[in-house]
Chain A
Amino acid sequence: MNKPKLIYSSAVASSLAIVFVAAITIVAELQVPLKDWLKSLSGHHWVSKGILSFLLYVVAVFVMYAVTKNVDRKKTKGALWVTIITTILGSLALLTFFTGHHLGWY
């Protein structure tokens, strides 16, 4: 097992999963058919988001691990920083969206 490649793949997959959760959550709040579709998958939109995001993470780890050729320290470090920034921005995006939604900004 190439351990740096696994870390890199997991970091990229985490970023993708976080962007997916933030994006599908916001879009589904604004587009009722999407939220209904998520509900129809498992019986609850949050459960569906959890399953889909974890599946996306697992698949992305395998795909990134398979397709990435060389992982050096710059790539590994960069992917970890992107994951950290994505997490912070994703959290702030959700907080801002639900605050605006509650206050009737849109």
Chain B
Amino acid sequence: MLEILLSKPVLIGLHLAFAIIGIDAFLWLLGEIKNDSWRKARLYWSAIVGVTAFILSWLSGGYYYVKYYGGLVKPIIQKGLAPWAHNIIMETKEHIFLFIIPLALTALFITFLDKEEFEKLNIKWVSMILVVLIVGLGLVIGAMGFTISAAARWGVQ
């Protein structure tokens, strides 16, 4: 079972699936923050799901990257038609990913506030922009991942 779980296609699938769940959860959080009724449980659980999903995406993707990418995928891309896919896209992606967890935790802490505290701080717009940034980074990282995979698949043709 563990052998299947830690295999290359499953790890990539988990990395992507958790990232999609994280992005969706933060989109849900965005809607909840925009909603003036401040439904605390929904705010809190959407952020918890988002943070947990991004951590799991980080761990599954990180394990794949360290265990398989450097030895198997990177050489194919670098010898192929699009070496920039590793040298620019992958190098940028792997480091930008490290930004997400602190940002997601900061968004989670905002959901700890009560409605009165949130209104008193007057941080609705900046909170929404923070969440949009988390979602945007997630989507950009996803697009980068697709480009890297495509370079590995078609780079040698």
Chain A residues close to B by CB (< 8 Å) = 1, 3-4, 6-7, 10-11, 13-14, 17-18, 21-22, 25, 43-44, 46-47, 49-50, 53-54, 57, 73, 76-77, 80-81, 83-84, 87-88, 90-91, 94-95, 98-99, 101-102
Does B105 have its Cβ within 8 Å of any Cβ on chain A? yes
Which residues in A have their C-beta under 8 angstroms from that of B62? 46-47, 50
Q: Which residue of B lies closest to A44 (CB)?
A: B66
Q: Are A84 and B109 in contact (CB under 8 A)?
A: no
Chain B residues close to A by CB (< 8 Å) = 58, 62, 65-66, 83-84, 87-88, 91-92, 94-96, 98-99, 101-103, 105-106, 109-110, 112-113, 117, 120-123, 126-127, 129-130, 133, 137
CB distance from A59 to the nearest CB of B (A): 12
Q: Are A13 and B102 in contact (CB under 8 A)?
A: yes
A21-B83 Cα distance, complex, nearest whole Å? 24
Q: Which residue of A lies closest to B83 (CB)?
A: A102
Most buried by A among B91, B102, B122: B102
Known: A14-B106, A50-B62, A53-B98. A87 touches B137 (CB 8 A): yes
Q: Which residue of B lies closest to A78 (CB)?
A: B126
A4-B109 Cα distance, complex, nearest whole Å? 9
Q: Which residue of A lies closest to B114 (CB)?
A: A3
Q: Can you list 20 A-B pairs with a CB-CB distance of less than 8 A?
A: A3-B112, A3-B113, A4-B121, A7-B109, A7-B112, A10-B102, A10-B106, A46-B66, A46-B95, A53-B102, A73-B122, A73-B123, A76-B121, A80-B126, A84-B133, A88-B133, A91-B137, A94-B91, A94-B96, A101-B91
